[in-house]
Structure 1
Amino acid sequence: MGKILVTGATGNVGRHVISQLAEAGLDVRAFVRNPKAGFPVETVQGDLTVPETLEPALKDVESVFLLWPGFTLGNAAEVVTTIAEHARRVVYLSANVPDGSPTHYYEVERLIRHSGLGWTFLRPGGFSANTLGWAERIRQGVVREPYGQASRPLIHEKDVAAVAVHVLTSAGHNGATYVLSGPEQLTSAEQVRVIGEVVGRAARWEEQPPEEAREELMATWGDPAVVESALRAWAGFVTRPEQATDTVRRLLGRPALTFREWVRDHAADFR
């Protein structure tokens, strides 16, 4: 098997892809912005937003795990073209987004489809790791946000990485799109309860008016389109919960990790 280049190597998913490939004894190269990332594998410094830094990292590479940074297309076309000039296949970490939501993920998919590369798309839904944004409020005992009854089967980043490694290292996945999720649907309020139970804190959900949340998100994110898209998606998960898939089990031969298992892995972050 040829060399595998992992972009987004310091992220929640990428670092697990690196470690799992390295543990399997495979030839892997990490593409990082920070040369002091400290991976036990070959590391090349670069930045996907500066495409000329990508070409040296692709030397002798057969497969690429691609995570596109940011929420706009930017120079994605140039990056995909550069990958296609050197590698044979790409596993792209896309996303499973609600119908009607504007997204760059599917635009990158389109570029890859027309690149001549062999490809596989991974479309995870909500990540369990997104709840780390509640850490300070969990410590205070109350998470105040809108749409506490929004329901999603959040996925452990280790499962996303394990699927990526499986696809990168086995045959039969070219042209496949895999929708990934955790095994159980939990509302946001239930997620807060589970976190509190695991870390031993009394934590509860407090419903926030969407209008108030909009003002806070605008102050933080600054992009009205992103804020409205997020609020619309959360509201949609109340009436149309995100559905769990069995893709992790089918591909890996084991159940997906539960949200409670994820919290146990990250309990220190909430204490």
Structure 2
Amino acid sequence: MTQTQKILVAGATGTVGRQVVAELLARGHEVRALTRDAAKADLPAGVEIAEGDLTAPDSLVPALEGITGLHLITFGGAAFAPLETGPRVLDLAHAAGVRRITVLHGGGPTPLEDAVRADDRVSWTVLMPVEFMANALEWADGIVAAGEVREPFVDRLSAMVHEADIGAVAAVALTEEGHGGQEYVITGPEVLTVGDKVKTIAAAAGREITLVELTEEEAVAKWRAAYLPEDVIGFLLEVYGNTPEAGRTVAGTVEKVTGRPARTFAQWAAEHADVFRERS
């Protein structure tokens, strides 16, 4: 039985952060959630809320008191810019007695992750999830309004991961020995096309959904209409049109670290089926 520990979770209101919080609670640990606005946190009962900002490291001093593990993100502030404050955050964490750190990979090299990797004072683990299953929520409005999904590159492959499994891997790394210095690629248990995902959602929601394949030009027009920045559009064209091998290859990380199989997309779709049903 793992001894109860107290973990500080940065980004606790985000897609992954909420799952880290939930998994730590389920495992019987104490959780302190770091947020820039406590009034908007909306976290489960039993979670201690601490206001602080990774862009202003000294604001973390009270939040770090009594903490044994720290979950970090690599972007911060209202604009979600890459954090440059890693060295100071790590100094404060070390001074507070933090023993383990997880950092959520931001899709490429970032100053904070670089600082974590270079730190030999704590046991650190880098979490590198592939595409989130939660990304499928972007299809909800089109499915509800028109019964269709409009996407380019429909044959692209993805080993997409349930966000709860990212939280589970993080929770283990933050509270148990044996994960220091590790870079964990986190995937789901299967490789799916866009068509596979649409069929799975249709089955879960009990409705027909048509998949409409867009050309690259049509996809770019769609994303621009949604006011996506040009660098984001370029990134989407690259990862969808030429998905990296890691993003389309099943890794056994979830089962290796947590001792249970990774959750399937069918499970995720069943959990979110109501989002894709017609609304009265």
- TM-score (ref. length: structure 1): 0.88
Give 5+ residue unaligned stretches, structure 1: 98-102
Alpha-carbon RMSD across the aligned residues, in angstroms, is 2.3
1:69-88 alignment to 2 at 5 Å? Answer: 69=75, 72-77=81-86, 78-86=88-96, 87-88=98-99
Contact between 2:69 and 2:175, CA under 8 Å: does it hold in 1? no
Contact between 2:10 and 2:72, CA under 8 Å: does it hold in 1? yes
The 3 A distance-change label for structure 1 pair 4 and 240 is closer
1:152-195: CA deviation from partner (whole Å, max 9, x where unpaired): 01111111111111111210111011111000111112211210
Q: Find the residue that maps to 1:123 and give its secondary structure.
A: strand
Other-structure match for 1:229: 235
Q: Between 238-247 and 118-127, report the one with greater CA deviation.
A: 238-247
Structure 2 CA distance for aligned equivalents of residues 227 and 211 of structure 1: 11
Contact between 1:51 and 1:79, CA under 8 Å: does it hold in 2? yes
The 3 A distance-change label for structure 1 pair 220 and 54 is farther
Which of residues 172, 176, 200 is equivalent to 2:178? Answer: 172
Give the AA of the match of 1:122.
L
Other-structure match for 1:16: 19
1:38-53 alignment to 2 at 5 Å? Answer: 38-39=43-44, 40-53=46-59
Give the AA of the match of 1:19.
A
The 3 A distance-change label for structure 1 pair 130 and 246 is same
Count of residues in Structure 1 that have an aligned counterpart in Structure 2:
264
Structure 1 CA distance for aligned equivalents of residues 17 and 8 of structure 2: 11
Q: Between 86-95 and 162-171, report the one with greater CA deviation.
A: 86-95
Give the AA of the match of 2:175.
T
Q: Find the residue that maps to 1:186 and give its secondary structure.
A: coil
Q: Find the residue that maps to 2:54 and give its secondary structure.
A: coil
After TM superposition, give the deviation of residue 241 of structure 1 in Å: 6.5
Which of residues 235, 259, 268 is equivalent to 1:262? Answer: 268
The 3 A distance-change label for structure 1 pair 119 and 240 is closer
Other-structure match for 1:64: 70
Q: Between 73-82 and 9-18, report the one with greater CA deviation.
A: 73-82
1:187-207: CA deviation from partner (whole Å, max 9, x where unpaired): 112211210111011112111
The 3 A distance-change label for structure 1 pair 156 and 134 is same
Structure 1 CA distance for aligned equivalents of residues 11 and 247 of structure 2: 29
Q: Find the residue that maps to 1:256 and give its secondary structure.
A: coil
Q: Between 76-85 and 29-38, report the one with greater CA deviation.
A: 76-85
Other-structure match for 1:115: 119
Structure 2 CA distance for aligned equivalents of residues 149 and 195 of structure 1: 17
Give the AA of the match of 1:194.
T
Give 5+ residue unaligned stretches, structure 2: none
Contact between 1:67 and 1:93, CA under 8 Å: does it hold in 2? yes
1:75-118: CA deviation from partner (whole Å, max 9, x where unpaired): 343444443443232111215x5xxxxx345x432111223332
Are residues 1:92 and 2:96 paired? no
